[in-house]
Amino acid sequence: MENYSHIPTICIVGRPNVGKSSLFNRLLGERRAVVVEQSGTTRDRVEAFLSAGEVDAKLVDTGGYVEEDKDELTLRIKEQIYRAMEEAAVVLLVTDAISGITPADLEIAAMLRKFSKPVLLAVNKADNEKLKNEAVEFFRLGFGDPLAVSCLHGRGMRDLKKRVFESVVKSVPKEVSAWQEHCMKIAVVGRPNVGKSSFVNNLLKRERVIVSETPGTTRDSIDTYFSYEGNDYILIDTAGIRHRRKIKSAVDTYSIMRSKESIKRADVVMLLLDAAEGVTKDDLGILDIIEENGKACLMLVNKWDLARKAGGITMEDYEKHLDYASSRISKFPLSFVSAKTGRNVLNTLSLARVLDANLDLKISTPYLNRLFEKNDPSNVPVSRKRERPKFRYIVQSGQRPMEFIYFVNDPSGVRAAHISYIENQLRSNLPLKGIPIKINIRRSRKEKK
């Protein structure tokens, strides 16, 4: 599995709460990293393509570097920072104009000198002239002229961007943007602690995302660019989506917003369920978000190894259990996986490619109308007080999501039962399992006259 390490990378590093994520968002021109007034919000690496004219590179935001190894999670964050530095073409060291040089800044600077990488020094929070002038203190770090910036007000950002682009322009291949356009985007979503990060790590065969037994470790939506068997992907690992009543902080709110945005920009969404818990109300709530955004969905029953040991249940029995819990589940393909052992994990990529291809399915009008001549929606039972609508003809009107227009004599007579019947017939006769379907009802031209 190739991970596109040849693409020039700009790595943002620094201690907690100096504004790394704010700078990431400023350089990118959109809010992609979670930004909140709380130290240590970013824990995993967050990646995105950065483009400016002919310049393209990968921008990476990292967790805050802490001097002392307080716990296992702190050590894991440090490991992620080290790896990001190793892969970087250019390192952007962020410091704080208000705090001045700290022991942590000196420790990071010493570490960067060992890597022998080009380093740009940004002194953030230089919100006024006094702080801007005091930024000369950071010459002591040994990385040349410090660039005084303010992510809050946008001061100094133009000069910083220019320096960043100049540092990578010679090494950036022109084909990066073209590659990004044709690769498939897969969002991995689910409730907290269902195993999303473990699934991503197993799929990539290396620890790309921090995995912890603590629910909610992943707070950002994290993009990973990779290739497998000749196909290119962007894999988006997201924070767990909680029910509103379970949201405890602003970080939770921002993380859920980022997860929803990740669903919007994905081609295919993988929804992880916990095999031990089955389908919950929160899972169905996430499914609502996926369907509202018209995204193809593959449902993954994770921790299947534990479920089999505990109860000896078969996949067929479990699938019946899910259908009984919610009839909506039958509309989506199911795969039983184990992020811990790797069972069926790689196979999910081929299933996702099938869904992605089916999003572009073009169905001829003659075929559609032959199908509904045999299965006329007009025969769906309705109240005796109402006249049955006459369904004239159907055409496909769009893709991604799959859209159809059914022309009838009287749109006001069409009920939810008719729409459900039409959708079921389409899914039964076409490869549309897991594909969003939108059915629009219009008055036929004959009746308009």
pLDDT in tens, 193-205: 888 888 988 888 7
Q: Which residues contact 40 (CB under 8 A, 6 or more apart)?
A: 16, 17, 63, 64, 66
The Cα–Cα gap between 425 and 374 comes to 10
DSSP string over 167-180: HHGGG--TTHHHHH
What are the pLDDT digits (tens) for 306-321?
877 666 688 888 888 8
Pick the CATH number of 365-448 from 3.20.20.120, 1.20.1250.20, 1.10.10.350, 3.30.300.20: 3.30.300.20
What are the pLDDT digits (tens) for 157-178?
989 888 888 877 655 444 544 5
- pLDDT band at residue 219 under the 50/70/90 scheme: very low
- Tokens found for residue 363: 């169905």
Report whether 261 contacts 221 (CB < 8 A): yes
**Quick one: fold of 9-175?**
Rossmann fold (3.40.50)
State the burial class of residue 347 (Cβ atoms within 10 Å of its Cβ: 0-12, 13-18, 19+).
exposed
Average pLDDT, the chain: 81
Looking at residues 178-201, what average pLDDT do you find? 81
pTM for the model stands at 0.62
The Cα–Cα gap between 422 and 406 comes to 9
Q: Which residues contact 256 (CB under 8 A, 6 or more apart)?
A: 239, 241, 242, 247
Q: Which residues contact 247 (CB under 8 A, 6 or more apart)?
A: 253, 256
- Tokens found for residue 210: 């921090």
- Nearest CA-CA partner of 190 in 262, 248, 250, 293: 262
- Give the bridge partners for 94, in sequence order: 122
- Terminal-residue alpha carbon distance, the chain: 60
Q: Given a cut of 60, is residue 138 above it in pLDDT?
A: yes
- pLDDT band at residue 246 under the 50/70/90 scheme: low
Please state the φ and ψ torsions of residue 319, each to the nearest 5 degrees.
-65, -40
Looking at residues 228-253, what average pLDDT do you find? 65
- pLDDT band at residue 276 under the 50/70/90 scheme: confident
Looking at residues 52-63, what average pLDDT do you find? 71
Looking at residues 26-44, what average pLDDT do you find? 54
Do the two domains 9-175 and 365-448 of this chain adopt the same fold?
A: no
Amino acid at residue number 256: I
Report whether 155 contacts 204 (CB < 8 A): no
- pLDDT band at residue 5 under the 50/70/90 scheme: very low
Looking at residues 257-279, what average pLDDT do you find? 86
What is the architecture, at CATH level 2, of domain 183-358? 3-Layer(aba) Sandwich (3.40)
- Tokens found for residue 181: 């356009």
Give whichever of 171-180, 251-260, 284-293, 424-433 has the largest mean pLDDT: 424-433
Please state the φ and ψ torsions of residue 361, each to the nearest 5 degrees.
-60, 130
Question: Residue ranges per domain, the chain?
Answer: 9-175, 183-358, 365-448
Please state the φ and ψ torsions of residue 393, each to the nearest 5 degrees.
-160, 160
- pLDDT band at residue 35 under the 50/70/90 scheme: very low
- Tokens found for residue 113: 């000198």
Looking at residues 205-229, what average pLDDT do you find? 58
- pLDDT band at residue 45 under the 50/70/90 scheme: low
